[in-house]
Chains A and B, each alone.
Chain A
């Protein structure tokens, strides 16, 4: 990924460590310090809030700018995330998807990116390591075409810490695909402009509408750029959605990110047994491709949205969005929450889940592999001790991660 970002000739890179994205900026630091990546300023900042703030300054001054973060880091920079999109700055940022605490957890789920889904950034999710490379290269082009920041979302550890043979494009190809950054306006003493003025009720709605309208335009631009990419690099690794054995499927699994790998294995097994099941993978979560998803879902008998995130107090985040695309259709939409905080998503669990789905034996919201006994035990305890307090440590005690004898 670092190599792919380097091929895009970023001019300013802001680095702050947070697992699991750290080695991306580390490797970029090596490229810059080692002299392979020239005309690039690599800045070690003191926080994620500073990382994106420095990126805002450099992008506004006309430099192609990149940073990366994850989890708590993305939340720490939240104010700047909204600011970067509001200012229309084409920054590209990798998010190595990771759970959000408390309880602190370094492992993969997609709660972090989802928390910023309404921040005005384009959000592209990579399915494979190859896509992670390819999407970064497309991200700069999309960002600069639309004057809008792009978040490239890659599952932490699964995509950030994998060893695999990759096809890394050569510099000439990338230069051909991605010309130098030429912004519409920059901070320039020869032509002084004010950026970031206060806007009151008389125009704020229009400014926000245009932000939305531009995301709707992105629904056209993202596939166009994916086509151009395919023309040069010969790979289909962008666009809004992808489908897997979906054409005649009675049951469609909708998901995003790397979990499609395991899901497609299970689909293959079930297809071998004659079961009509397929998948739709959302590659662009923002903008959300309502029409494409509607088209993909309109002939199926049931929809299972599998997601690694949770809207606490509601259910599925992705499922809520899919239900918007699904409007007017009568098939049921089931939300399944799985893989939170890095819990492994096994083929066995998915097979059992999909078998149940195929006989419509699912709740509206299901938690995959939930340890119900642990939950029941803690809820009993909560009822007995009504004073407020943390629950995570109790759960750890109960499942034996912490020595019970010492703590009860």
Chain B
């Protein structure tokens, strides 16, 4: 597939079906020969954004590599729900070692493949935001600076969901988690804390950094495909809403992901060698309040004008920083 823009003359929807597209423009997910690398029968929760994101990303990576793919997985939800012994939902060679070392394990696999001359086999590492932005950060940065031939995919659900919803350095300000309860004068997670690993990845000057969201499949698959066309260290952070941890209806995963992007709270962009090359423009701007009110983790923020303003400020800042509004100002 390509990321060619196609104009549909439909109204009222943002999800034109694949069947309206020429077959070569359809998503990998829409094809009968998709690899189903993360197979059915796993034990993810209903509406799990991470399961969706992983299936999209790995199937696209399989297509891009002609099924020559090995994955190293950090400890976390994705690992636990896919490999309850003696079952495995993976149809690709897959290894889980520890919480904080998926990128280093992937480096080792890539080194072994290189020394054996198996240059057509490619390596990905994957983990949640805890395993990426916190405990696995040292190994990740090492993998980046050595420019090891690994695509690292972070499934960002903004907290430690596997251990029962605790704060990570990817948890947004105001969010309720088990370690940032909505009590006291500053309820929820602190504002002005946390980090953007995509920006930090860019500071390593690696060949490719991108963010994607499970609500826009074409974009996500195109980014995986592009990442697999490049050698060296690459980083993809995928926004994957968590119904259980965030407190929303499992049927709303895609809607919530879309609203995060359309509000500016999760900027979708691409960068090459440290420079932003593209960002996804907001088509119909969503006020952050609309996004927040679908999630119980932000219930207290809606009653707190000061906190609500802080969330809006983050969205506005992202819109400016990443150029998320088209020159026409979007379709309000």
Chain A residues within 8 Å of B, Cβ to Cβ = 11-12, 14, 39-41, 43-47, 49-50, 53-63, 65, 79-80, 83, 87, 187-189, 191-200, 203
Q: Would A50 and B113 be within 8 Å (CB), given that A80-B97, A83-B98, A189-B92 are in contact?
A: no
Q: For window 94-120 of chain B, which residues contact chain A by CB distance below 8 Å?
A: 94-98, 100-101, 104-116
Q: Does B138 contact A (CB under 8 A)?
A: yes
Among B80, B83, B108, B138, contact of A47 (Cβ-Cβ < 8 Å)? B138
- A195 near B115 with CB under 8 A, answer no
- B97 near A53 with CB under 8 A, answer yes
18 interchain pairs, CB-CB under 8 A:
A14-B108, A45-B104, A46-B139, A49-B138, A50-B101, A53-B98, A54-B104, A54-B111, A56-B97, A58-B111, A58-B112, A59-B108, A61-B113, A63-B111, A63-B112, A83-B97, A197-B83, A200-B84
Q: For window 65-102 of chain B, which residues contact chain A by CB distance below 8 Å?
A: 67-70, 72-73, 79-80, 83-86, 88, 90-98, 100-101
- The binding surface of chain B is classed by DSSP as mixed
B98 — which chain A residues lie within 8 A by C-beta? 53, 79-80, 83
The winner among B85, B108, B111 for most chain A CB atoms within 10 A is B108
Q: Which residue on A lies nearest to B66, using beta carbons?
A: A189
- B96 near A195 with CB under 8 A, answer yes
Q: Does B141 contact A (CB under 8 A)?
A: yes
A11 — which chain B residues lie within 8 A by C-beta? 112, 115-116
Among B68, B96, B113, contact of A196 (Cβ-Cβ < 8 Å)? B96
Number of interface residues of B (CB under 8 A): 44
- A189 near B69 with CB under 8 A, answer yes
- A53 near B111 with CB under 8 A, answer no
Q: Bound state CA distance, A194 and B73, in angstroms?
A: 10
A196 — which chain B residues lie within 8 A by C-beta? 73, 83, 95-97
B38 CB to nearest chain A CB (Å): 11
- B115 near A40 with CB under 8 A, answer yes
- B109 near A60 with CB under 8 A, answer yes
Q: Does B142 contact A (CB under 8 A)?
A: yes
Chain B residues within 8 Å of A, Cβ to Cβ = 67-70, 72-73, 79-80, 83-86, 88, 90-98, 100-101, 104-116, 121, 138-139, 141-142, 145-146
B142 CB to nearest chain A CB (Å): 3
Q: Which residue on B lies nearest to A82, using beta carbons?
A: B98
- B93 near A50 with CB under 8 A, answer no
B139 — which chain A residues lie within 8 A by C-beta? 46-47, 49-50, 53
Q: Bound state CA distance, A171 and B106, in angstroms?
A: 31
Q: Bound state CA distance, A80 and B69, in angstroms?
A: 24
- A53 near B146 with CB under 8 A, answer no
A13 CB to nearest chain B CB (Å): 9
Q: Bound state CA distance, A224 and B94, in angstroms?
A: 35
The winner among A54, A57, A200 for most chain B CB atoms within 10 A is A57
With A187-B93, A198-B85 known, 20 other A-B pairs at CB within 8 A are: A11-B115, A41-B111, A41-B114, A43-B108, A44-B146, A49-B138, A49-B139, A50-B138, A54-B105, A56-B105, A57-B72, A57-B110, A61-B70, A63-B108, A188-B93, A192-B90, A192-B93, A197-B88, A197-B96, A203-B85
